[in-house]
Amino acid sequence: MPLDFRVVGRDPGTRARLGRAQTDHGPFDTPAFMPVGTRASVKGMTPADLALAGARIVLANAFHLALRPGEQRVRELGGLHGFMAWPGPILTDSGGYQVFSLGGNVRIFDDRVVFRSPVDGTAVEIGPARAMEIQRALGADLVMAFDQCGSFPMERDEADLCVRRTLRWARISRDAPLDPHQAVLGIVQGGIHLDLRAECARQLVEMDFPAYAVGGLMVGEPQAEAMKVLAATLPSLPEDRLRYLMGVGLPEDIVLAVARGIDLFDCVIPTRHARNNHAFTSEGVLNLKNARFKDDRGPLDPQCPCYACRTFTRAYLAHLARENELLAPVLLTAHNVTFYQRLMQRIRETIAAGTFGELVADQRPPGTVSGE
Amino acid sequence: MPLDFRVVGRDPGTRARLGRAQTDHGPFDTPAFMPVGTRASVKGMTPADLALAGARIVLANAFHLALRPGEQRVRELGGLHGFMAWPGPILTDSGGYQVFSLGGNVRIFDDRVVFRSPVDGTAVEIGPARAMEIQRALGADLVMAFDQCGSFPMERDEADLCVRRTLRWARISRDAPLDPHQAVLGIVQGGIHLDLRAECARQLVEMDFPAYAVGGLMVGEPQAEAMKVLAATLPSLPEDRLRYLMGVGLPEDIVLAVARGIDLFDCVIPTRHARNNHAFTSEGVLNLKNARFKDDRGPLDPQCPCYACRTFTRAYLAHLARENELLAPVLLTAHNVTFYQRLMQRIRETIAAGTFGELVADQRPPGTVSGE
């Protein structure tokens, strides 16, 4: 079995689970967070930096890599693991989200989507068969079914159509040839329509995927709506399979989703925030361009073991940020990824210790930014 | 004595010297190359990266740091060493070059220069007294006299005026108060007029600086002219003092200047080239955006011990460069700085072994770029 997943502990007060996943490229403990390496690089971090930050699995994007440098080139260069020199587990997104987030100019057919390439404007076709072909060539351990990613708001009719397409494409994705080390995840869609979500989950479970994902959440709807969807969806998924919440999110979103039974996350927030000079810290999110940091001799986060926190003052990091020095996004990215990995470690430790409920109770309202 | 410099070896066939400099922040062997950290950061490199690349002394820019974040702020934050967390030797440029390279809108008086701030357009005054005050606050080990940096071409009359101003300012710079650990270097100007250069050097030596620099070279004149200037200038400087060639240069410039008796260099070339996707290698300068690297499975430079060369293929680095990934300039900067430090190490080793002449004979014509 390409993905061996075991639930090894449970929180008594919530649906949070402690898990251990094993792939041909090594294990990772869950709940886990995947830094996003869209183009086979987590922006500004080397594989050594990622390992030091505590990341054990990373995400890359099949759609972007198929456009450039091309999936066959990646395959010939040793697959994604060899290409990006990341020996651990990798998950590739299928491209569904990217195709639909391109917005206009997307024509949807039963078996494929046609759109203009953002690279050169030529017409590009992608569908479940092609998405799986790309992902097979890239060689990630976990690959995603090709889905139609919903948006918010999405009327019931539209959501229903989205679910039906997603299910049709899920079956094609599941039956597509993959390499022996690869496992494909089915994706639950359905917007915030709870019955559609439950029905989508039920039908995917009938197809018996090795693991499942929840897509099209945190795309604009209130956090509470997203959590209702998780509560309505996850009980339909088998307890012994890994569950991945795509594209989420802020630390508080992650804690609440873990409490509802999610095992795996990815999000651009830690890395993108870093490039905008925002640092996640034990005091909240700090904007390093804020004037109050100009003379701050303290470390960025006294609780953080990352290189920036051990080496520099906030004043120096604020100087780098103001001067748009290359080192600012580099240091802040490593810091934010470290912060997220430490959050996941704390989640796992509290689940193991039976104190995860306290972590849930501690969550700040979403999006709180200090230092503005 | 804030700067203890000893010549510990000589090449029998050239004027190349092997030296050992000792500062309050540690030693460095010469000939040495200083990576440029204009705003108290070598773009994209941490202090740990710099040490790993072999750098032992770095350069920062008094002029830029006085504008932002302000030299008093740096002083309060532990001086440059504390601010940028570089415990080793630091040299600061006085600002002369930066003022004059701003071009128009610069009014020169006997005791100062008035120009518009590139930051906010306000009128800024700087002169030898102010330049030394800034450098004292920053706290570098080696600080530079405030000079009028010549340009090319520069008529004899203009060069003569430039030398006279530079000498007047050199005396003020020499007499300005500094902290006990700081040493000030006098700067030889005079364009390509050999007699003016020799006279400027002679008068500076009368002022008895602890070390000397040659400025205003490699600013557009042919390499051969610059080498003639060095050959005409250096014999006027005392044998037992460190000699620094400012802002130079390509590897072949460095080797030829060492052969004429230069001990210390700085230049933005390795770091700036890296940000333009150019890598210095044992095969010459490679432009990673060249199509021939797209499928190249080899390391960037098989002889280089840097992280990028040990970890990635040229094909992957070419992909990062083409996608403008943040990791491309980060990896290439560390690589190029490593290349320069290894060049200096080889220069020192060949001087010690008496084979430096072979290195001089091996030099390619300046500016050769492979892979274009």
Contact B322 A41 (CB under 8 A): no
Angle between helices B223-233 and B194-207 (to 10 degrees): 40
Contact B85 A275 (CB under 8 A): no
pLDDT band at B372 (very low <50, low <70, confident <90, very high): very low
**Distance (Å, whole) CA B182 – CA B324:** 41
Most confident segment among A147-151, A361-365, A367-371: A147-151
Domain containing residue A34: 4-267
Is A370 among the domain residues? no
Of A40, A43, A84, which is closest to B326 when you measure between CB atoms? A43
Residues B101, B159, single domain; the answer is: yes
Q: Which residues of A333-350 are buried (b: 16+ CB within 10 A; e: fewer)?
A: bbbbbbbbbbbbeebbeb
Range name among A74-78, A132-136, B106-110 with the lowest pLDDT average:
B106-110
User: 10 Å Cβ neighbour count for A265?
Assistant: 23
Q: Answer yes or no: is pLDDT of A367 > 50.
A: no
**Distance (Å, whole) CA B156 – CA B175:** 29
Q: Answer yes or no: is pLDDT of B151 > 90.
A: no
User: 10 Å Cβ neighbour count for B339?
Assistant: 26
**Neighbour order of strands in the sheet with A26-30:** A4-10, A17-23, A26-30
**Distance (Å, whole) CA B108 – CA A305:** 50
Which amino acid, B80? L
Burial environment of residue A231 by CB neighbours within 10 A (0 to 12, 13 to 18, 19 or more): middle
User: 10 Å Cβ neighbour count for B108?
Assistant: 15
Report the CATH number at residue A57: 3.20.20.105
Residues A55, A113, single domain; the answer is: yes
Q: Which residues of A46-73 are buried (b: 16+ CB within 10 A; e: fewer)?
A: bbebbebbbbbbbbbbbbbbbbebebeb
Is B247 among the domain residues? yes
Is A39 among the domain residues? yes
Residues B280, B185, single domain; the answer is: no
Is A371 among the domain residues? no
pLDDT band at A369 (very low <50, low <70, confident <90, very high): very low
State how beta strands A284-287 and A278-281 pair: antiparallel
Is B368 among the domain residues? no
Residues B259, B346, single domain; the answer is: no
What are the structure tokens assigned to A353, written together?
Answer: 């210790």
pLDDT band at A124 (very low <50, low <70, confident <90, very high): confident
Residue of B296, B310, B316, B320 to mutate when probing chain A, most A C-beta within 10 A: B316
Cβ distance A84 to A40 under 8 Å?
yes
Contact A327 B297 (CB under 8 A): no
pLDDT band at B118 (very low <50, low <70, confident <90, very high): confident
**Distance (Å, whole) CA A139 – CA A133:** 10
The CA distance from B365 to the nearest CA of chain A, in Å, is 32
Of A77, A319, A331, which is closest to B297 when you measure between CB atoms? A77
Cβ distance A137 to A73 under 8 Å?
no
Average pLDDT, chain A: 94
Instruction: Please write the tens of the pLDDT for every residue from A155-185.
Output: 999 999 999 999 999 999 999 999 999 999 9
CA nearest neighbour of B11 among B19, B21, B22: B19
**Distance (Å, whole) CA B42 – CA B233:** 31
Residues A348, A247, single domain; the answer is: no
Residues A25, A152, single domain; the answer is: yes
Is B366 among the domain residues? no
The CA distance from A359 to the nearest CA of chain B, in Å, is 34
**Distance (Å, whole) CA A50 – CA B353:** 42
**Which residues of B fall within a CB distance of 8 Å from A118?**
none
User: 10 Å Cβ neighbour count for B156?
Assistant: 13
Contact B68 A315 (CB under 8 A): no
Average pLDDT, chain B: 94
Of A39, A275, A327, which is closest to B46 when you measure between CB atoms? A327
Of A39, A45, A46, which is closest to B323 when you measure between CB atoms? A39
Instruction: Please write the tens of the pLDDT for every residue from A209-259.
Output: 999 999 999 999 999 999 999 999 999 999 999 999 999 999 999 999 999
Residues B246, B311, single domain; the answer is: no
Residues A51, A96, single domain; the answer is: yes
Is B218 among the domain residues? yes
Q: Span B35-54, mean pLDDT? A: 98
Residues B283, B257, single domain; the answer is: no
Scanning the structure block, which residue is given the tokens 């610059």?
B226
Residues A209, A332, single domain; the answer is: no
Our count of domains for chain A comes to 2
Q: Span B76-92, mean pLDDT? A: 98
Which amino acid, A341? Q
The CA distance from A279 to the nearest CA of chain B, in Å, is 18
Is A119 among the domain residues? yes
Count how many pairs of residues, chain A against chain B, have C-beta atoms within 8 Å: 109
Cβ distance A176 to A128 under 8 Å?
yes
Instruction: Please write the tens of the pLDDT for every residue from B158-194.
Output: 999 999 999 999 999 999 999 999 999 999 999 999 9
Q: Which one is catalytic: B11, B49, B93, B141?
A: B93
User: 10 Å Cβ neighbour count for B361?
Assistant: 9
Q: Answer yes or no: is pLDDT of A123 > 70.
A: yes
pLDDT value at position B119?
75
pLDDT value at position A103?
57
Q: Span B101-123, mean pLDDT? A: 82
Residues B239, B313, single domain; the answer is: no
pLDDT value at position A170?
98
Q: Answer yes or no: is pLDDT of A262 > 50.
A: yes
Return the active site residues of A. Answer: 93, 266
What is the pTM (predicted TM-score) of this model?
0.97
Contact B320 A41 (CB under 8 A): yes
Angle between helices B156-175 and B128-138 (to 10 degrees): 50
pLDDT band at A104 (very low <50, low <70, confident <90, very high): low
Q: Span A331-353, mean pLDDT? A: 98
CB neighbours of B1 closer than 8 A, spacing ≥ 6?
Answer: B183, B210
User: 10 Å Cβ neighbour count for B84?
Assistant: 29
**Neighbour order of strands in the sheet with A369-370:** A278-281, A284-287, A369-370
pLDDT value at position B97?
82
Contact B46 A311 (CB under 8 A): yes
Query: Which residues from B are below 8 Å from A when comparing CB atoms?
Result: 39-41, 43-48, 68-69, 73, 76-77, 83-85, 275, 294-295, 297, 307, 311-313, 315-316, 319-320, 322-323, 325-327, 329-331, 333
Indicate the residue among A235, A267, A299 that finishes a domain. A267
Residues A45, A177, single domain; the answer is: yes
Indicate the residue among A248, A267, A286 that finishes a domain. A267
pLDDT value at position A149?
86
User: 10 Å Cβ neighbour count for B239?
Assistant: 12
pLDDT value at position A27?
98
**Distance (Å, whole) CA A117 – CA B313:** 27
CA nearest neighbour of B93 among B220, B292, B256, B247: B247
pLDDT value at position B365?
56
